Amino acid sequence: MRVVVVGQGPAGLLTADWAHRLGAEVFVAAAADGSLALWSGAWDFRSFADSGEVVRDPWQWWDLHGRQRGVAWNREDWVRWWTRWRDTWSAAGIPLAAGAELPSHNRWTPTAVGRLRPVFVCPAWQWAADEPEPVIWVGLEGLADTPIALASARYHALTGMTATGVCLPRPDAWVPHWSGLAWSVYVDSEPGRQWLTEALTRALRDHAGTSPVLMPQMLGQDGCETLIGQLEAALGRPVREYALLPPAVGGIRIRDRWKRALKRRGVTWVSGTVGAVRKEGVQFRDTGELLPADAVVLATGGILGGGLWLSAAGELFNTGTGEMVPWSGRMEDLARAGIGTEGPAYRAVGRVVGGFDSDRDGDSGAVNLYTVASAMEALFGERTAGEGWQHSEEGP
Amino acid sequence: MAHSDACLKCTICIAACPVYRKDGEFPGPKALGPEWHRRHLAGTGDLMDHVDDCTFCQLCEGACPVGVPVAHLIAEHKAAALPKQTWPMRVRDTVLTHPEWVARAPVLTRATALVPISRWLKLSTRSQRPSVRKAPRLSRSSRRAAVGGGRPRVALFVDCFDRGFDTEAMLAAQALMEVFGFEVHQVPRTSQCCGAAAYASGRVAQARRQAGAMEQAIRGELRGDEVALITLNATCQGTIGEEWSKFLGLNDLPVPVIPFHVFALQHAPAGFWSTVAAANVDPGSWTWTHTTCRGRRRGDGALFQLARRAGMDQVEPLDLECCGAAGSYAFKAEHAETAHDIGQPAAAQIHGRPGVIWVDSGTCAVHLEQLAGRTARHPAYWLWQAWLTSQSASATPPAPAGHGEPRDGGS
Ligand code: SF4
Ligand code: SF4
């Protein structure tokens, strides 16, 4: 079977990965980069109830409320697909935090300004904890995203735990426009690694204890695990990151590793804007070329991701097909608008299916997992049950 | 340019830029492109340092979710900065942006092996120069069509690099397409440039002139019944297929412009692939495929499929979005270090394993060969070698013949 996936955000890459594991020849058609570079890499399953209260156990929330939202899974289904997702990331070389094998509840992860937000699972480099604990909060002089006094004071006020604020003076190589990504490039170099190790050691000299060191998300790209290991050895404490504004180094690490792994397995990328989806394949708008397919999966994102487009006249369009999308016309419904899981010639996955408001509810990980798994079941049927599933692909 | 003012400041282009990810001083595509352009239109656009460090790989532009022509705005920024160049650099860039001159006399590159000349011209003494690979004569029997019947026609585009330095790849592509059952003729007859090199250096007006002359030449030589114009160089492919109409004010050519490897995947008969694959030409060896940055404007993975279809033993894509060569970029002294840093991961990836590199651009091949220490050639060359092996295995003695060399330059 030849599957064309339109879009390369998290839902698109997951679809491509799984369709390939299930034996399909896979093409990713994309007009632009996906959203991974805007995101730290934390997967939310259900962070907030409809009332806005924090959800402790997302599995339980889906047990109780899933059916009302059209999600037909029981706990066993969730766990089966969760396990596959976790193994998929691990095969692509994306490490999950310890204890994330099968989490039972939401944990806490910090924002750059010292707030805590619930999160279900993070990559190994990001700090997340069951309960707030005393921390060393590190900022960088010359990185505006890290307002250290504000962040540590707020963390203390919200949790009652000490947050020792430490600001590292900037290195000679520093340039005013440096984002977290540029910092990560610097600490990936040998002089940068040395500078960081020395600056941190010096800054923490007078602080006894083993509380974790929270760094802005800039601890290197492919070399990040090695660097974190070296810093932990030098400092005798755990070292983890907190998320920054984009370009987001965490999502870039995930994007690079995942795409490399998929390319090594033979997934093909075709650039271009898809303007029409038909039974026989997708047609590109600029060239008119047809990319033949037995099945098309739209992973184009919702109104924020660009999968839907709102015209000045208030009409909503599916950007992948050009079709008009019915909606109430009320702005408050816009985030939940979508095209459904199935169209005349496609399946849809991720936010574009509509009915979810992932930014408000904190459930994008679950929505991606559920919609992608459902598409796999629709396309591959029985094969998804076990036999046809390949776990053995090598990582990068 | 359409969408030049559409930037949402999302930073996705920054995350795609290979120079930003190696060089801490590089301000990145968002700052050099759309942000500079807004100020420029408002009359407050001071020229920024490092604008010339952009390779014009266009990965930023391919990543932008709202279609901002990021790299082409940066090219305008470079154009505005041209008067700041010193005159040895101007001399150098005049030569580097006329690859059609070098293609007529490739021996000229040997002069730049003299270090004082290179120093004065601010040419890199570190980046390897291409060597001339002149085609041997091709045997007629090895080019026999694998299918019979009427032969549709294709035009094969002769780019400056292949005309000057690699007629082997050019003739391999021609012979293969004949084997696929096509009648092939080469265009243009005289050495011309599509404008890519000048555009990358910010010489936009010069690019427009060169492209216009090339377009005239090609139109004059097309016979009207070609099914496609086939290219061997991803940069020329992008320039002719996309930039001519979008940015250089030319009309689309009357035929589709298609890279050789894509054409081969679509049009080589099944019997061709099974014959080549059965010959098993590289047991125990690796084939690394690299789709150049400009090739990625069409996507990534077709070269990998080509190598697999040809039965190569172990195929692996290089983990590089861009190798750093970027046409003449790596040949400029001020860029040599960045160019090498960008391509360096290829060496680490290949480390210690035997094999060869398939890559869809001649200058990238030179650069990768130097960095990784493995022979890097155009896929047409490798595919032709595999076909020859499969033919000698099938024991038909090849009969001597010879035609089809480019008529201008090539030695
Ligand atoms: S063209 Fe390439 S080098 Fe230049 S800014 Fe864009 S991504 Fe960076
Ligand atoms: S990707 Fe496009 S919209 Fe986003 S910052 Fe770059 S130019 Fe602006």
Confidence of residue B398 (pLDDT cuts 50, 70, 90): very low
**Residues of A in Cβ contact (< 8 Å) with B25:** 175
Q: Is B405 inside any structural domain?
A: no
Same domain, B294 and B319: yes
**Cβ proximity of A296 and A270 under 8 Å:** no
Q: Is B129 inside any structural domain?
A: no
- pLDDT of amino acid B328: 74
CATH number at residue B51: 1.10.1060.10
- pLDDT of amino acid B187: 95
More confident residue, A324 or B139: A324
Same domain, B246 and B178: yes
Same domain, B263 and B336: no
What is the rounded average pLDDT of the residues B372-400? 83
Q: What percent of chain A has pLDDT over 70?
A: 98
Confidence of residue B101 (pLDDT cuts 50, 70, 90): confident
What is the rounded average pLDDT of the residues B292-306? 94
> How many A from CA of B87 to the centre of ligand 1?
25
Q: Which of B42-46, B88-92, B359-363, B400-404 has the highest mean pLDDT?
A: B359-363
Q: How many domains does chain B have?
A: 4
**Cβ proximity of B54 and B72 under 8 Å:** no
Q: Is B7 in the pocket of ligand 2 (CB under 6 A)?
A: yes
Q: Is B133 inside any structural domain?
A: no
**Cβ proximity of B52 and B16 under 8 Å:** no
Output the CA angle B400-B405-B406, nearest 5 degrees: 175
Q: Is B55 in the pocket of ligand 1 (CB under 6 A)?
A: yes
Q: Is B406 inside any structural domain?
A: no
Confidence of residue A220 (pLDDT cuts 50, 70, 90): very high
Q: Is B222 in the pocket of ligand 1 (CB under 6 A)?
A: no
Between A217-221, B99-103, B340-344, B361-365, the lowest mean confidence (pLDDT) is in: B99-103
**Residues of A in Cβ contact (< 8 Å) with B23:** 185
Same domain, B245 and B145: yes
Domain of residue B342 covers 270-390
Confidence of residue B144 (pLDDT cuts 50, 70, 90): low
The protein residue with its alpha carbon nearest to ligand 1, atom 2, reads B57
Same domain, B105 and B79: no
Q: Is B13 in the pocket of ligand 2 (CB under 6 A)?
A: yes
- pLDDT of amino acid B406: 37
> How many A from CA of B36 to the centre of ligand 2?
13
CB within 8 Å: A33 and B308 = no
CB within 8 Å: A268 and B300 = yes
Query: What are chain A's domains?
Result: 1-99+246-396 (3.50.50.60), 127-242 (3.40.50)
Encode pLDDT of B233-247 as tens digits: 999 999 999 999 999
Q: Is B398 inside any structural domain?
A: no
Same domain, B149 and B244: yes
Query: Of A321, A345, A312, A308, whose CA–CA distance to A273 is shortest?
Result: A321
Mutation choice for B interface testing from A6, A13, A181 by most B CBs within 10 A: A181
What is the Cβ-side half-sphere exposure of residue B323, based on CA atoms within 13 angstroms?
34
- Beta-carbon contacts below 8 Å between A and B: 90
What is the rounded average pLDDT of the residues B70-76? 97
Closest residue, chain A, to B305 (C-alpha):
A266
Reply yes or no on whether the pLDDT at A69 is more than 50: yes
- pLDDT of amino acid B403: 38
Order of all β-strands in the sheet with B183-187: B183-187, B153-157, B226-231, B257-259
Reply yes or no on whether the pLDDT at A392 is more than 60: no
**Residues of A in Cβ contact (< 8 Å) with B12:** 32-33, 37-38, 246-247
Reply yes or no on whether the pLDDT at A283 is more than 60: yes
Same domain, B94 and B175: no
Query: Of B380, B325, B319, B324, whose CA–CA distance to B350 is shortest?
Result: B319
**Residues of B in Cβ contact (< 8 Å) with A185:** 20-24
Touching B: A residues 316-355, CB under 8 Å: none
Same domain, B289 and B317: yes
In whole angstroms, what is the distance from residue B180 CA to residue B172 CA? 12
Mean pLDDT score of chain B, rounded to an integer? 87
- Substitution site in B70, B320, B321 for ligand 1 pocket (most atoms within 8 Å of beta carbon): B70
Mutation choice for A interface testing from B51, B319, B321, B338 by most A CBs within 10 A: B319
CB within 8 Å: A32 and B24 = no
**Which class for B318: exposed (0-12), middle (13-18), buried (19 or more C-beta within 10 A)?**
buried
Q: What percent of chain B has pLDDT over 90?
A: 66
Question: Residue B67 CA: which ligand 2 atom is closest?
Answer: 2
Same domain, B76 and B155: no
Between A41-50, A172-181, B103-112, the lowest mean confidence (pLDDT) is in: B103-112
* Residue B37 CB partners (closer than 8 Å, separation 6+): B4, B5, B45, B73, B76, B77
What is the rounded average pLDDT of the residues A85-111? 90
Q: What percent of chain A has pLDDT over 90?
A: 76
Q: Is B256 inside any structural domain?
A: yes
Q: Is B288 inside any structural domain?
A: yes
Same domain, B54 and B147: no
What is the rounded average pLDDT of the residues B171-199? 95
The protein residue with its alpha carbon nearest to ligand 2, atom 6, reads B13
What ipTM was assigned to the predicted interfaces of this complex? Answer: 0.94
Q: Is B68 in the pocket of ligand 2 (CB under 6 A)?
A: yes
More confident residue, A62 or B88: A62
In whole angstroms, what is the distance from residue B337 CA to residue B26 CA? 13
Sign of torsion over alpha carbons A308, A312, A314, A315: negative
- pLDDT of amino acid B228: 97
Same domain, B257 and B295: no
Question: Residue B34 CA: which ligand 2 atom is closest?
Answer: 7
- pLDDT of amino acid B411: 32
Confidence of residue A154 (pLDDT cuts 50, 70, 90): very high
Encode pLDDT of B210-230 as tens digits: 999 999 999 999 999 999 999
Same domain, B76 and B144: no
Per DSSP bridges, beta strands A107-110 and A116-119 are antiparallel
- pLDDT of amino acid A100: 74
Q: Nearest bound ligand to CA B52? A: 1
- pLDDT of amino acid A305: 79
Q: Is B130 inside any structural domain?
A: no
CATH number at residue B193: 3.40.50
In whole angstroms, what is the distance from residue A213 CA to residue A136 CA? 5
Reply yes or no on whether the pLDDT at A208 is more than 60: yes
- Substitution site in B74, B78, B243, B323 for ligand 1 pocket (most atoms within 8 Å of beta carbon): B74
Encode pLDDT of B48-67 as tens digits: 999 999 999 999 999 999 99
- pLDDT of amino acid B338: 87
Reply yes or no on whether the pLDDT at B46 is more than 70: yes
